[in-house]
Structure formats: structure tokens, C-alpha cells
Amino acid sequence: MLRMHQWWLSLLTAAALVGGAAWPAVAQDAEKKAEDKPAAEKKAEEKPAEAKPAEATGQMTKEAIIHLDNPSGVAVHPGTGHVFAVSAQGVFRYVPGKPSKIYLEIEGYPTPLDIYGKGPMYNIGPLGVALWGTDKLIVPDGSRKDGEELVRIYKIEDAVPGKPRKEDAAEFTLGPIAPNEETSPKGEGNFYAAVVWKDAIYITSNGDDTKGWIAKSVIADGKPGPLTPSIATKVAVEVDAPIGITVHPDGNSLVVSQGGEVNMPGDSLLTMYDAEGKLTKKYTTGLNDICGLAYSPSGKLYAVDFSWVDPAQGGLFELVIDSESCKANKISLTAKGADGKVVEYKLDRPTALAFDKEGGLYISVFGTGKDTGDKPKGGVIRVDPGL
């Protein structure tokens, strides 16, 4: 989406681990390295992310990770259940359990980060994360300028890493999509979300407001090919910004959200494309800024709405398709308050979502986490199975 649409993507700090989880060696290494860095970089890393101590079961939602700086992507490993989340410093791996722990998996994204926004301005770092099978992690990035943006693909193991890898230590690098008069005059950028479908990787991008490209990399012999503009979504639907992306449970459709203009309420669309990139379905939703889509294990479709014009209108929604219409039903979430009473849990600027194999739902949000002064307020929450 932006220059006008990348508002939800402020990724400035986050670093290691403290609090209820034991300090793993990776976090200690990250802190030690920070001592030798310039003051500006050191300040951006000195406030760490935390793994929230395990809480009692029985409540609808609980905070899994706190003190992430505006996380914009989350993915769950289908085998181990490990959760991957992106923030400005890089990619974190959250290991559920008692106690839960979080590890810095990938670090070293460019600084200063790219800046976008209308009204509030936000710094942009890695924007999305997705699994390719069980041993590859796709990380679309937004930290560079349009025409220089990259998508990194990392080899991962089931075991947590001994120390974080650098951002450029990828198994494969896709992009950049350089300026081209026929496709993207200024070059493509702000690669947001990724999905693997029918032997290809699809990436939503928000650098070119005129075309609204979904980029594509064809996989052959286990290797991804060049990243090229593939589906011009704005040309197809006349609405800006492809952001959320997933695959229909029947495997026959690519499902995409068009976020729309950040200052225009109710313009987000739900769209579907076939394997040839042809638009097959387009639904109005009444939502403001859909930036994440995911199907639950039961086959229901859920979306998160950041809702730039009024965050109180945002949240988690089930998208119910009936013939040629789509109804967005807001999901009421609850949690146990400090006094033990069940209270409403309000999502504050959600950005992405992913289900685990048990049906638990992880949602990255800008606003979760305690206000502790200069510590980041973003994080990842977990909604118990049942959706």
C-alpha cells in the first residue's frame, strides 16, 4: 500500500529476551554486540522483546510475546508449533511451553529503516513471514527503497539456532524488482505477505500504487526462480494495496485482501484468483484495512482489520461468504483481568494472523503489551482453539 498505505509497519527495536523466560545464549550475544555499536543503533536495540510467562488455561486470549516493536507478520511451524514473528531487528522464534521462550533467529536488517505513512510516520523493516514446507522460512522485506527491496529465504531447523544469523545469510534471495516502464516505473517494494501455492511463491507488494502487484517466483527442482510482477490487482479491482494472502482450503484459489486507502473507511475487498492469475471473485467487506487473512483448521476464513481511520473499529473478523456476498462478523475476545474476572480483550491495531495445528490462533498487533515507558508496546497474542 503506501507511501500511503504502509502505516501499520513501524519496526524500530526489539532485541532479545527477559522476564519469565530464561535468557538463552542468543539473547546474551545480542546484548553484548550492542555495547560496541553507535549510540543511535544501541538505543534501538536496548529494549528487548519478552516471552510472556505461561498463564493458566481456560481464558480466551493470552499474551504470548510482549515488547515487540510493531510486529507485522506471524507464522506457525506445522510440525514443531514454533511461532515466527517479524519486527525491526529481524525474525524471532517463539517456543511455546512452560516456560515459553523467544529467540532471535535473524538480525541485521538495514538501518536506518525506510519510512512511510500519512499522518503518523512509521519505520519499515521486514514485513512478513511464511513457511515453505517445514525447513524454509520466507521473509518479505520493506526496509529498503522501492526497486531495491528483497525477499529472503532461510534454511531452518527444528532446533532453535545457537546464535542469530545475519539478514544476508539466506539460502535464496529473490529480487529486487528494478524500475521498468511497463511494470513498475519506480521499481517494486514493500513486500508484505507470502504464500506457497502450486509450485510458486506469491508475494504481496505495496510499492507501486498504480498496479498493486502480487509478485511471483516459480519453483523448479526445489529452487525459486526470479521474482517478477504477476497479478496487477489494482488494475483488476480498482482498489489499492494487496496485503493479506492465503490459499483456499480446496487448493484452487489464491485469496487476497485489498487493504484500500488508509483514509477511506469501508473500502477493503476480499478477492480470489485462479492459477492463471485471473480474478474470479471480488467481495466488498465493509472493513477498513484488512492486512491479514487465514483459514482455521475447520475451514473458516478470518481476517484482521488494522482500521487506520478508527482503530476501535478494527479487530478480528470471520468472513462469511454467501453466494455473491461477504459478511464480516466481528469476533469478541475475552481474557482474565488482573482481578481474575473475565473481561473483553480488545485487539489494538492487528497486523497478521496464523493458526497452529490445534486451532490456536496467533495474532501480531501493534498495541499489545504493557506500557512500560520506552519499551515497545507491540507483540503477539494467542487465542485458544475454538474458532
CB–CB of 280/324 below 8 Å? Answer: no
- If one compares 42 and 59, the residue with the highest pLDDT of the two is 59
The candidate with the shortest Cα–Cα distance to 191, out of 235, 249, 152, 240, is 152
Residue ranges of domains in the chain: 25-383
* Fold held by 25-383: Methylamine Dehydrogenase; Chain H (2.130.10)
Tens digits of per-residue pLDDT, 310-342?
989 999 999 999 988 999 999 999 998 888 899
Mean pLDDT of 363-375: 76
Mapped onto helix, strand or coil, the DSSP state of residue 176 is coil
pLDDT at position 41, please? 40
Per-residue exposure over 348-362, b if at least 16 CB sit within 10 Å of its own CB, e if not: bbbbbbbbbeeebbb
- pLDDT over 70, % of the chain: 80
pLDDT at 2 over 70: no
List, as one string, the DSSP characters of 282-326.
EEE---S-EEEEEE-TTS-EEEEE--SS-GGG-EEEEEEEETTEE
Mean pLDDT of 97-117: 81
265 pLDDT band (50/70/90 cuts)? very high
Mean pLDDT of 12-28: 31
Mean pLDDT of 19-47: 35
122 pLDDT band (50/70/90 cuts)? low
C-alpha pair distances (Å), 379 with each of 221, 249, 332, 360, 365: 37, 28, 19, 16, 6
pLDDT at position 161, please? 82
Any idea what the Cα angle at residue 252 is, between residues 136 and 222, rounded to 5°? 30
pLDDT at position 186, please? 86
Rounded Cα gap, residues 13 and 375, in angstroms: 9
Mean pLDDT of 358-386: 85
pLDDT at 292 over 50: yes
pTM for the whole structure = 0.86
14 pLDDT band (50/70/90 cuts)? very low
Cell numbers at residue 330, please?
466481528
- pLDDT over 90, % of the chain: 61
pLDDT at position 308, please? 87
118 pLDDT band (50/70/90 cuts)? low
pLDDT at position 157, please? 94
Q: Round the average pLDDT of the chain to a whole number and report it.
A: 84
Rounded Cα gap, residues 197 and 138, in angstroms: 13
pLDDT at 173 over 50: yes
Cell numbers at residue 238, please?
480498482
pLDDT at 43 over 70: no
Lowest mean pLDDT among 51-65, 223-237, 355-369: 51-65
pLDDT at 17 over 50: no
DSSP alpha helices (H): ranges in the chain?
Answer: 25-34, 39-45, 233-237
